[in-house]
Chain A
Amino acid sequence: MMEKVLEVSNLCKTYIVNKRQNNVLRNVNFSISEKEMVAVMGPSGSGKSTLLYTVSGMDRSTAGQVKFFGQNIDKLDSKEMAEIRLDMMGFIFQQMYMLKNLTVFDNMILPACQSKKNFSSKQEIVAFGQQLMRKLGIIDIADSDITEVSGGQLQRACIGRSMINHPKMIFADEPTGALNRSTSDEVMEELVKLNSEGTTIMLVTHDVKVAARCTRVLFIDDGCIKGEKFLGKCENVSLIQERERALSGWLMEMGW
């Protein structure tokens, strides 16, 4: 039995806007084991992003429990939470949020410079950063301004940033949402590779092709998990189309 990375029980999230309650998440229960790659799908406004932010400790839940490696992260204060995000988690967003005043490379190594846990010296950080960039195929743009590079390159840099501290788990909210098909494929390639190297991943997506490469898919609607589908490890690239077809069929059943 694999170790549980994330255990979510009875998670609720309620926003109050103009004195009206909006129960975005209602009693969500699920768990993610080590080395899994879980996709979250669902209609727009169903609460996917909210779910991702709440389970990753970026936002506070209204009720329920989130355990990360057995630790109840709801009980942590903002400082301890920041530390966990820094050292154990990685984040990739739909829009490529980076600091305008830094180069692509500096943006990428920023978490490592802040943490100091994984590296003993600046040289080590720089060396690892360069290695990552080479791996992601963006070493050419290392010293560029973030406004001078393409969306795909930037998104790969974001993946690099999420990996810089050797996280236990990566959370991604529509990482390919702003990319075209071929760049989207390239980015997914990187994530699958990362997953096969042992990093647990949870990602939100609208894209069946993206979801088909994951090991499991959760379907969320109206704040509840309506179903889940095990796909297993995608070891054989030729099987992808078959997985896609199976997933599409299941999604139809779920009312996608």
Chain B
Amino acid sequence: MYLQILKKDLKRKRTMNVILLLFIILATTFVSSSVNNIATVTNGLDHFMDEAGMSDFFAMTLNRAAEQDIQEVLDSSDAVESFGIEEFLIKESMSVSRQREEPGTDATIAIMACEDSQLNYYDVNDEVITSVEPGEAYVAIKWLEEFNYEIGDVVTINIGDKTREFTIAGGLKDVCLGSKMMNVVRFMVCRDDFNYFNSDEEIRQEYGGKMCYIFSGDDAAVTNLLSEAETGLLFSGSKDQVKVGYVMDMVISGTLLVISICLILIAFVVLRFTITFTLSEEYREIGVMKAIGIKERTIRGLYMVKYFALAVVGAAVGFLVSIPFGGMLLETVSSASMLGGGSSTLINLICSILVIVIIMMFCFGCTRQVQSFTPVEAIRSLTKGERFKKKGFMRLKKSSFKPRSFLALNDVTSSPRRFGLIVGVFALSLILLLVIDSTVATLSNSRLIKSFGFAESDVYMTYGDLLNNVSTGDGVETIEEYLSDVENEMAANNMPCECYCDLMLKLTIQNKEGNRAFKSVVYYGVNTTMDMYDYADGSAPSNPNEVAITPLVSETLGVYIGDKITIVHSFGEEEYTVTGYFQSMNNLGEGVRLHQTARVDPSQVAGYNAIQFKFTDNPSNQEIDSRIERMKEIFDNSKIRTGDDYVAEMVNVTGILSTVSRILLVVMVVIVVLVTTLMERSFSAKEIGEIAILKAIGFNNKTVINWHTRRFVIASVISVIVALALFYPVTIVSITPIFKMMGAFYGVNYVVRPLQTFVIYPLIMVAVTSAAAWGAALFTKTITPANATENE
């Protein structure tokens, strides 16, 4: 008998059941694939670290800045249990050209010999790379992907006056430098090729360095050791800090998890709605069943069997879909440079079963109603309609709307819970989209440069030889001269501008007592003034003896505004007064800002931000774009871009986030279409009598369809208003912690793209709702006036 009734039900309410099934499939797919993604990324990272043999501590030194050999320093320390060293050659913005039309790139590349490997490096098939053929090279996957290199491409490496060509043999997975936040690209060649460059004493001194993998139980001791020694430290960090480099991968997986949690919520809310809706429709049937003496348990079992069948089918399909879908997401969203490990279909299976269990629990709760009413109540409740419902406050006689609009508005106000649900679901999906969109906008807006602790400008140019000019030159004056040359050249080309540049030094900083110290990035601007930077608290340094620090430095050293800190320069220790705090998303939030007149040793400069151009004649955006093209010719440099592009490049996740926002847009459309169709079809199923009477008294099809469509349009317009009111606070609450993790302790100024936010996305929402509601409302055409006397 069960099967019989089930079969009939499935047939009779086909549309509803199909939509319900789709929802279950969608929910299962999203839940299992994103839980799996999280597992892959978090577990996968630990797994990757273990497999690769990552050390507790990692340090990278530059020979040119070193006074002591790091090897000796490490050897002499008790805190260090063991360590391994890889020699490398590094060049900021090394030019790498390839034999294809596209321009070459100038990423920071660290060349090393395969034979020196201290960690396991993997190829794309997760096999450890044990040897490299002469003339070939394995290069970090993130770089190959970003710049579209392919296996077999020939690249030319220029260091000093030596040049050699390499054929790319494959991608390289590198746990230590592989994350997108690390700006160094590993380039692995064979020992002979490496020695071709490295055997040159001058090259080794200028470009050489050491990567040290240190095993020690005492991170703090190692930190102290490295900060005291003059080893030319470029970067150092514990295993955990290396992990943080993968934060963006986590954030993106987290975003997906949030999306899927929302989807589960939506799926369950809709499910609950459908169950109560179908139940109320079947009150009389249930009443009759009760009246003739069928046990409650049996009646309840009937519904449970139906939803169990739907849940199992839906979850099974969802499970199957989630495997390729999850793989696809992982590919677009997570780094291909990780070792595939944590992923397993078991997680998908568990999630799918969980969805079934939750649906059943839910269904069990909903069907409890069956118990609560007597046969008489059940039978009567149908004839009396929805007895306890109070109609809305709108009156046709007082309204100036046409009936179709009035009826639509009146429906919405009469059933606030029903339409509130729709508004909630729509608003939620729109908010998600808007949050991600404004995050993308923020991460690719020139303004964000200030949150990195730099000054803003119109154009940014990275230029390879600048650093060599500084470190080989006699002082900062070399850069000043260079910058004024550039300014003159620009002026001569009718592009009047100011040029400036932020230098970064890696120096030991201490509190006054000298009991706390560490190596931090120290910023020194050439041609900039202190008012060009943002300060969160306090004031800008006003003389060479004052500095601003980041909250991280303040916390680590225990120094606050008004206190003194010491910076160890090559020419001696200098004491400075802290006047203010600023934030920087570089190096996870560390940094000290020196006054422009402070003294620094150019040979200690470890890097620079970019050569920045601020035009003095307020050109338009198009004008800036065309100037950039001209500048590329003048300076023969392809690495010249706008602030927006420069920020996007620095943050390096904008592309992935854009993908996420596109996925979200699709998700939103799918949700809106499904929810609208489901709701409209279930509403009109209950309103056949009313529709028929309207047709009988002379309403035509168009008016009826219009009425039904408008209800959803009203709901979607309300949801747009709700979403627009809420997305900004939601963005601040949900995204700010992520920026804080990256070092923006005071949060950032979010950018809202007005066109997308206030026009395009709302329009898409309303248009999709209208189209879906209209499509679903076409069903009402089949209702004839003669249906008026039929029982519902």
Q: How far is the CA of A126 from the CA of B391 in the complex (A)?
A: 20
**In the complex, which residues of chain A have a beta carbon less than 8 angstroms from the beta carbon of B384?**
147
Interface contact A147-B397, CB-CB below 8 Å: no
| Stretch among B215-223, B604-612, B781-789 lining the A interface | B781-789
Assess A106 versus B698: contact at CB under 8 Å? Given A58-B784, A101-B392, A101-B414. Answer: no
Which of B389, B690, B702 has a CB less than 8 Å from the CB of A79? B702
- In the complex, the chain B residue whose C-beta lies closest to that of A97 is B693
Residue-wise interface mask of B (383-423) relative to A, using a CB-CB cutoff of 8 A (1 in contact, 0 not): 01111011110011100101100110011001100000000
Q: Is the interface of A mostly helix, strand, loop or mixed?
A: helix
User: B208 interface residue, CB < 8 Å from A?
Assistant: no
Taking chain B's interface residues, is the majority helix, strand, or loop, or is none over half, making it mixed?
A: helix
Q: Is A189 on the interface with B (CB-CB < 8 A)?
A: no
> Which of A111-119, A229-237, A243-251 has 4 or more CB atoms under 8 Å from chain B?
A111-119
B450 within 8 A of A: no
Residues of A within 8 A of B697 (CB): 85-86, 90-91, 110-111, 161-162
Once bound together, how far apart are the Cα atoms of A113 and B399, in whole Å? 10
**B701 is an interface residue with CB less than 8 A from chain A:** yes
The reply to whether A129 and B411 contact each other, CB–CB distance below 8 Å, is no
Q: Would B693 and A122 count as touching, CB distance under 8 A?
A: no
Across the interface, which residues of A come within 8 angstroms of B689, CB to CB? 97
* B210 close to A (CB within 8 Å): no
Chain B residue at smallest Cβ distance from A101: B414
A103: interface (CB < 8 Å): yes
Interface hits, A154-187 → B, CB 8 Å: 161-162, 165, 173
Q: Which of A58, A79, A101 contacts B696 (CB 8 A)?
A: A58
Using an 8 Å CB-CB cutoff, how does the interface string of A88-111 with B read, 1 for contact, 0 for none?
Answer: 011101110111111101100111
Query: B700 in the interface, Cβ–Cβ < 8 Å?
Result: yes
**Are A145 and B391 in contact, CB atoms less than 8 angstroms apart?**
yes
Is A78 an interface residue when CB atoms closer than 8 A count as contact?
yes
* A143 cross-chain contacts in B, Cβ below 8 A: 395
- Cβ of A96 to closest chain B Cβ, rounded Å: 10
| A240 at interface, CB cutoff 8 A | no
Interface-central residue, B384, B402, B403, by most chain A CB under 10 Å: B403
Q: Tell me if A83 counts as interface (CB < 8 A to partner B).
A: yes
Interface size range on A against B: 35 or more
Asked whether B410 lies within 8 Å of A89 as measured between CB atoms, the reply is: no
In the complex, are the beta carbons of A98 and B403 less than 8 A apart? no
Number of residues from B at the complex interface, CB < 8 A: 39
Hey, which chain A residues are within 8 Å of B308, CB to CB? none
The residue on B at minimum CB distance from A82 is B700
Does residue B699 face the partner (Cβ distance < 8 Å to A)? yes
Contact among B387, B392, B403, B693 with A114 in the assembled complex (CB-CB below 8 Å)? B403
Contact present for A86 and B699 (CB under 8 Å): yes
Q: Are B385 and A100 in contact (CB under 8 A)?
A: yes
| Chain A residues with CB under 8 A of B391 | 100-103, 145
**In the complex, chain A residues whose CB is within 8 Å of the CB of B703:** 82, 114
Q: How far is the CA of A224 from the CA of B786 in the complex (A)?
A: 20
Interface check B695, CB cutoff 8 A: yes
CB neighbours (8 Å) of A161 from chain B are 697
**Nearest opposing residue in chain A for B390, CB measure:** A145
Cβ contacts under 8 Å, B390 to chain A? 145
Task: Report whether A101 and B699 are in contact in the complex, using a CB–CB cutoff of 8 Å.
Answer: no
**Chain B proximity of A86: nearest CB distance (Å):** 3
- Chain B residue numbers with a CB within 8 Å of A109 are 396-397
Distance, CA A174 to CA B139, complexed state (A) = 87
| Contact (Cβ within 8 A) A110 B403 | yes
A59 within 8 A of B: yes
Q: A49 within 8 Å of B by Cβ?
A: yes
Give Cα distance in the complex from A78 to B695, angstroms.
Answer: 10
In Å, the complex CA distance between A251 and B386 comes to 42
Does the CB pair A99–B690 fall under 8 Å?
Answer: yes
Contact A98 B693 (CB under 8 A): yes
CA distance A156 to B4 in the complex (A): 44
| Contact present for B786 and A59 (CB under 8 Å) | yes
B785 touches A49 (CB 8 A): no
Q: Is the CB of A113 within 8 A of B785?
A: no
Please indicate the chain A residues that have their CB under 8 angstroms from the CB of B387 in the complex: 147
| Chain B CB within 8 A of A221 CB | no
Give CA–CA (A102, B390) in the complex, Å: 10
A49 with B698: CB separation less than 8 A: no
**Shortest distance in angstroms between A75's beta carbon and chain B's nearest beta carbon?**
17
B789 touches A83 (CB 8 A): no
**Contact A110 to B410, CB < 8 A, known contacts A89-B698, A115-B698:** no
Additional 14 contacts, C-beta under 8 A, given A58-B786, A85-B785: A49-B789, A58-B695, A58-B788, A82-B695, A82-B698, A93-B789, A101-B415, A102-B410, A103-B396, A109-B397, A110-B403, A114-B403, A145-B390, A161-B697
10 A-B pairs with CB atoms under 8 Å apart are A58-B696, A87-B698, A89-B698, A97-B692, A99-B693, A101-B415, A103-B396, A106-B396, A114-B402, A114-B703
The 4 closest A-B pairs by CB, nearest first: A86-B698, A82-B700, A85-B698, A106-B396
